[in-house]
Structure 1
Amino acid sequence: MISTLAFLFPYSALGKITLYPLNNEFGQAWSSLPTYGDAKNGKPRRPPYAGLASALSAVSGQPVVLMPHTYEPADDDFAQPAVAVTTKPFDPWTLSTAVREWERRVRKGDDANTLAPLLAAAEVEHPQLASFVRGAEDGTPHAPGWFYRVAAWNFAQRLARTPLLIPNGPRMRRIHWRMDTQGSLISWDNVTQRTTLKPKRTGYALHKLDFRVITQPGEPLFALHVLPTFSRLATHWASTRTAFIEHGGHKNTLLRLPIGHTKNSDGQWVPYARNYAAEVLEACDMDFTTWPTNDDLAQLRGQMRALVPAPIPHVLGKGVGTRFNKILADHITDTFKRPTIIQVGFEATDVELTRPTKGAVTRADLDHALAATGSETVRIIALYNDGTTRKRMSEALAAYTTTPDQPLDCGDHQDHRLSQRLVVRFHRLRALDHAEQVDWDSELEFLDQFHDDAVNGAWVETIWNPKPTKREREAGQHRHDHKRDLRRALYERDIVSQFLARQSPPEPDDATEADTDTDAEAPKDYKAINALRDLLFRLGCVDDRLRHVTELKDEPILVGIHLRQQRVSNRRPGAADRTQMVEVLTALHTSNDPDRPWHLHSYDHHTHDWRPQAVAEAAFGRRAIGREGHARHEEGALLARQHIESALKILPSDRPLIIFVDTEACRTIWPGLQNVRFGKGPLPGDDLRTETRSVAVVAINTSYGEVPTPVENTTSPRKNPKRPPKPQERLYRRTTSTGHTSWYIAQASRTYDGFGGAGSIGGLHTRFTLPKEDWSLQRKDWHSFTATQITVPHAAQHDPEQLAALAAQLCHQSLSWDARTRHPVPLHVAGAMDRAHPEYRGPSMETAHMPETDEVQGGE
């Protein structure tokens, strides 16, 4: 049994709320508000409901939501009617004054005062939150969108009343929580601090508990997921977006405000509270706290603390560790006695997950695996500038020669055959070290000499996160990162790529010592080995490792459908003019014939055809990343569904299909993936199902907020009384009272399992109680257990548990590395193609610049 940080709670535990119903007249008044931007040079936009809710939270010191009151997904954030929901009634004068001032600011000083009278006239209600739930008896509970936030507030308020007791030797460490105006709990008075001497830096972090109320497939009760984070604090205001404020009148609640930045009269960037929160506080005669200086933040002075804006170097790592999760789970169970809540758990099945094949494709299997590319010849083009990198590449490639202990003995600019199908060609490319942008079309002209039918892949040296030299720093310069531009230029030539970060050559003393120790075995260059494995994976190389761990007698085609919505801007960086859908489809063709390798194809949207993996990736990478008009909702969702359905129809019609989809990304496109209509709405492949053709659908959910976080394996003996036992390598399941089963795979990360005591330090200690002699381990990321949820909305002619086992095994035995992937192979390959696109989460490419015809670090 796996216990988790998710809890089912009876409807009697939901409590009451304070609700202000807002009629259509309020909606009409809201729609008459002008567009505005509360940031200097900000893009004007229609005022969101959340703007006023943020201002009301500031003056009331309590969480507030203002949202449409609808049971269906609200495609329009301003749908009518709406409700304002909070924890207790507003003071009438404060409410009217705050709303009037906020509207006046939006209208640039025009005191129209259209909203405040309507909100003040609303008849305040105090209903039971459970009264808004529908469909519970059928195992499909659902409620208006605002319900889920408010239910989490009530739970957080109750939990905050009891301090968390953490064993600290013979004593207990008491952690008192403060709730913020978004419903999170903050360890405000219990700050973790670490100082380094070289360089001289001090960092701070808080423990934060977020709460998310969600549904589970077939579960009549709502589940509350507790999401602990180790939130690091900023020591300067640059780029910060969120601040917590402790200010007078609301000592039990912290204000969480979005932060913007603008220039003052001296030309310096200074922070301000978004949504006119400071101005609204001043209008209500409330003293807004003084903005701390950068020095104040660096020394944790004042009433305000800001979160670090993004993943940046910090003296403290991320994560709270598994021991903290175990203590927290026990605390929640002990705190909520009346009514009793139920901790969600997974039961073990008889399905054991195995990984019989590890390591790279062997030399004996190489040509058989390369046959999956569909080409007689596969060429690796090794592009380098540093001699050490060339040596590393040749040593990694030597594994596919008859002398694997010796580096390749070959020159540049000519093909060197390693096996019947694999050739390699080295080429020194000095432009790789240029600090400025490079004309890669000119630099890569030598690649145009290839006129054979070989599949080509480039193995490219790169300076990973290149740091400027002292001279460049003094001049305000920085080296250009060539990976995006170079990858696109290679795609233009139908060449997929994988980058290898340069390493410094060994120090002379180290080299001398290694030469004298003749018995010492040189350490393996795993970075080069893994980069080569990933390049072969991108080329479409598939050996028999997947065949060995699956039993697929009817030779199905395994399809992966990867969807992602990307923001697009044609103007300044950071702005989003529109969104577009990224759609990547892959198909893994299985075979029972040992002489025929499984092979990968991907769908080319331009030619409307399924093409070999490397060819399809190059075609995908050289064109605009998204599809115009496709979206997650309404007409855009219908267009995406129809387009993907037409792609599936091209696959061989005499083969069964097993389609793997990402639940979170796809459920608005296919409503049959949603818990409220699970398996009863549209699903992928609906148009392909016949009496003689099987089309199954397997949904994979890896969302941290939706899949319960494993706490411990309660059936395993404890080797250490402190450390929670980790999950086993097997398939788990959970069956609800309505008879619906979901399956799970749970795991500890590779970091948790390895790297000595540093990897699993969070299993023995909490960040509150780490011994001083181990204090340096605060800089590490502390890992917790994770889980993947597998559901089967349509099993076709298969046993649902067999499909779940197949999905789990295709995560556990990946194509090119020795650990588990988040998604089964076909879905993982599709995601890897998306991440390798030059415009992945980057600036958009204009369609007009695309030809008319046809990195992720580590492919796994």
Structure 2
Amino acid sequence: MPSKMSSGKTPSDCPIRNPQASDAEAFISQFAEPGVLLAAWCETELPVRGEEHEGMKAAEVKSALAENDAKPQVVRALATAAVPSQFLVGRTYDPFTKTFSTIKKPAAAFEDPRVYMGQLDLYRSCGVIDDRFEPALYPEDDPYPLPRMAFVGIHIRKQATDRKYKGQPKRIITATAVIPSRKAGETWRMLGWSNIHPHWEHYTRAKSNFHASNYPLHTQEGQGEMQRWAQAGEDVRTALQDLSDELDGLPYALMIDGHASRRVWPGLHNNKQGLSPDLDDPRLWLPGSGLPASWKPVSIIRMNCAQAEMPRLVSVIEKLKNGTTKPLKTSSDLYYPEDRPEGHPWFLFTEPRNYGKKRHGQWKTRWRADPGKASKNADERKENELNSPWYSMTTREITPMYTRDGYEREALAVAAARLSHQALSWSDRTRYPAPLHAALQMDLGHPQFRRSEPKDPESLEILREARGGDA
């Protein structure tokens, strides 16, 4: 892979063209055939500081390394050719020894999680909806039956504030629709949409068009924060209106992160339930406000993965088939509040990977952990509690809202949990259900994301939680 690819500057609403794009298209044309979907598996390495950077300031070095990073440039060239890509780091640099080391192939394939996870994510980039989703959502003798329906995920975030532009930053919106077949056993579809390229297309094509274009520049008309969020709501309503042509009468449920989009639709706030829209507020009350009833979602499933706002699982009472109850300290099931108030949420708990038999974190913090004692005499040894697994259960809040008659809130909550469990590009559960997760990944994979991602702590926390706690 080349260490640098130069790119020209064009308006944000036009695909970027660079000299390497034509080379990529020429190479890809050797393998392109009708009905064949191509994907690129690439190796790269992170640029590091070298002799050529001596005497430069830290900010200048950072900028120079970013310009030399081949990955975002190759991603754009391949996206222009409508080819999804996946990258693996093949060589790493040790800043202390100032030496490079090549990542070696493990003895067994299952010992290489980087490749395994990368391959799963490449499938997601290809818009693959495999046959797990049919039995997951429509199993035989399902106690939570659902009609054949689509699930749509909407991801919204605000770009980083930039002093070069006046007014408020633009909002980035990506959306994904998982559409089942009309009959069991037939092919499912996954479509994508973005406010940079506002057309519903096959997920791979939508993702490529999104990645081949620049993020929109900040508005320079002096519009304020409220106007930008109001515009984001209008963009989503346009997307839902256009989606009706793709669904051809098939109902759908809309999935959003209520924490990330709380400034967009006031009608989804807890303290607004039962109230009428505020006529002085320029924002849409709900995502489908103003649309014909047949174009509106049958339910808006509000997700919340912000762990600071979630209840911690201490114990749950599970009812057994014989009528007795059993207390549990950990669980990966879906639960609801015991008193079940009107409009209550469901909570999906997940045991972390490092779950073990001992739960020191249940009784004490790390400050009170016993460091233990090492000894050649087994009778004198004491366990080092700091080496034991310390973890917290992760929680997702699932709240079906404004659910249409004929659709059960409980069945929709179970469907959202199942769509989190059947991860598109992960070996375990994802924080978001599959449609919302795929919409988020469209944004995270954009070549400009690391230069335009939000910098404020609140937005960074939303993204961290959505990624599963990763920094």
1:706, 1:766 → 2: CA distance?
A: 20
* RMSD, matched Cα: 3.9
Structure 2 counterpart of 1:650: 242
1:602 is matched with 192
Equivalents in 1 of 2:178, 2:239: separation in Å? 15
Is the CA contact (8 Å cut-off) linking 1:587 and 1:602 kept in structure 2?
yes
Deviation at 1:555, TM superposition (A): 2.2
Instruction: Please give the per-residue CA displacement for 1:541-579, whole angstroms capped at 9, x wherever unaligned.
Output: 1111111111375321211111111224264xxx99742
> Cα deviation per residue 1:300-319 (whole Å; 9 max; x = unaligned)?
xxxxxxxxxxxxxxxxxxxx
CA displacement, residues 757-804 of structure 1 (integer Å, 9 cap, x when unaligned): 8xx664576322333348998699942112111112211131111111
What residue in structure 1 maps to residue 117 of structure 2?
530
Distance 1:505 1:725, change over 3 A: farther
Give, in whole Å, the separation in 1 of the partners of 2:204 and 2:103. 35
Of residues 71, 81, 87 in structure 2, which corresponds to 1:499?
87
Equivalent residue for 2:439, pick from 817, 827, 830: 830
Q: Please say if 1:555 is aligned against 2:154.
A: no
| Candidates 236, 253, 257, aligned match of 1:662 | 257
1:616-695 map, 5 Å: 616-626=206-216, 634-651=226-243, 652-678=247-273, 680=275, 681=277, 682-690=285-293, 695=298
Structure 2 distance, partners of 1:620, 1:707, is 33
The reply on whether 1:818 has 2:420 as its aligned counterpart is no
| Pair 1:443–1:747, CA change in 2 (3 A) | same
SS in 2 for 1:502: strand
Indicate the residue corresponding to 2:334 in structure 1. Answer: 731
The correspondence for 1:489, drawn from 70, 77, 83, is 77
Equivalence for 2:365: 766
Q: SS of the counterpart of 1:803?
A: helix
> Partner residue of 2:44?
462
Query: What is the DSSP-based 3-state SS (H/G/I as helix, E as strand, rest coil) of the residue aligned with 1:822?
Result: coil
The 3-state SS of whatever aligns with 1:787 is strand
Matched, 1:566 2:172: no
Q: Cα deviation per residue 1:608-662 (whole Å; 9 max; x = unaligned)? A: 4210001101111222335755999533333222221121112235111111111
Partner AA of 1:532 in structure 2: Q
Which one scores higher on RCO, CA 8 angstroms, separation ≥ 6?
2
Match of 2:301 among 698, 702, 712: 698
Distance 1:564 1:598, change over 3 A: same
Contact 2:421 2:430 in 1 (8 A): yes
Cα contact 2:191–2:201 (8 A) shared by 1: yes
The Cα offsets for residues 803-846 of structure 1, whole Å up to 9 and x where unpaired, read as 111111111121232211111111111011111112224149xx
Paired amino acid for 1:439: S
CA distance in 2, matches of 1:656, 1:790: 20
Equivalent residues of 1:460, 1:499 under 8 A apart: yes
The separation in 1 between residues aligned to 2:128 and 2:150, in whole angstroms, is 17
Could you tell me which residue of structure 1 aligns to residue 377 of structure 2? none
Name the SS of the counterpart of 1:462 in structure 2. Answer: strand
Give the direction of change, closer, same or farther, for the CA distance of 1:761–1:558 in structure 2 (3 Å limit). same
Q: Which runs of 5+ in 1 are unaligned?
A: 1-428, 515-520, 717-723, 845-854
**Residues 693, 620 of structure 1: alpha-carbon distance in 2 compared, 3 angstrom cutoff:** closer
Is 1:591 aligned with 2:154?
Answer: no
What is the Cα deviation at residue 529 of structure 1?
Answer: 2.0
Q: CA deviation at 1:595?
A: 4.3
CA contact (8 A) 1:590 1:599 kept: yes
Q: State the shift of 1:696 in Å.
A: 1.5
Q: 2 CA distance for matches of 1:605 and 1:842? A: 19
Q: 1:764 to 1:443 in 2, by over 3 A?
A: farther
TM-score between the two structures when normalised by the length of structure 2: 0.71
Alignment partner of 1:839 is 2:451: no
Deviation at 1:528, TM superposition (A): 1.1
Alignment partner, residue 447 of structure 1: 24
Instruction: Indicate the residue corresponding to 1:97 in structure 2.
Output: none
CA distance in 1, matches of 2:233, 2:163: 27
Cα deviation for residue 673 of structure 1 reads 0.7
Aligned amino acid, residue 484 of structure 1: P
CA spacing shift, 1:473–1:767, aligned 2, 3 Å: farther
Distance 1:834 1:790 in 2: 23
Distance 1:708 1:496, change over 3 A: same
SS for the counterpart of 2:249 is coil
Evaluate the alpha carbon distance shift between residue 446 and residue 568 of structure 1 in structure 2; reply closer, same or farther with a 3 A threshold: same
Question: In structure 2, what residue type is equivalent to 1:581?
Answer: R
The one of 509, 529, 541 equivalent to 2:128 is 541
Sort the Cα spacing of 1:545 and 1:576 in 2 relative to 1 into closer, same or farther, 3 A. Answer: farther
Do the aligned partners of 1:456 and 1:496 also contact (CA within 8 Å) in 2? yes
Give secondary structure in 2 for the equivalent of 1:768: helix
Residues 474 and 636 (structure 1), Cα distance of their counterparts in 2 relative to 1, 3 Å cut: closer
Q: Residues 667 and 816 from structure 1, CA distance in 2 versus in 1: closer, same or farther, beyond 3 angstroms?
A: same
Q: What residue number does 2:344 align with?
A: 741
Question: Cα–Cα, structure 1 residues 665 and 474, in superposed 2: closer, same or farther, change >3 Å?
Answer: closer
SS at match of 2:425: coil
- Whether 2:395 is the aligned partner of 1:807: answer no
**What secondary structure is seen at the aligned counterpart in 2 of 1:705?**
helix
Distance 1:568 1:800 in 2: 39
- The structure with the larger Rg is 1
Change (3 A) 1:553 1:734: closer
CA contact (8 A) 2:351 2:393 kept: yes
Query: In 2, are the aligned partners of 1:696 and 1:795 still within 8 Å (CA)?
Result: yes
Aligned-partner residue type, residue 686 of structure 1: S
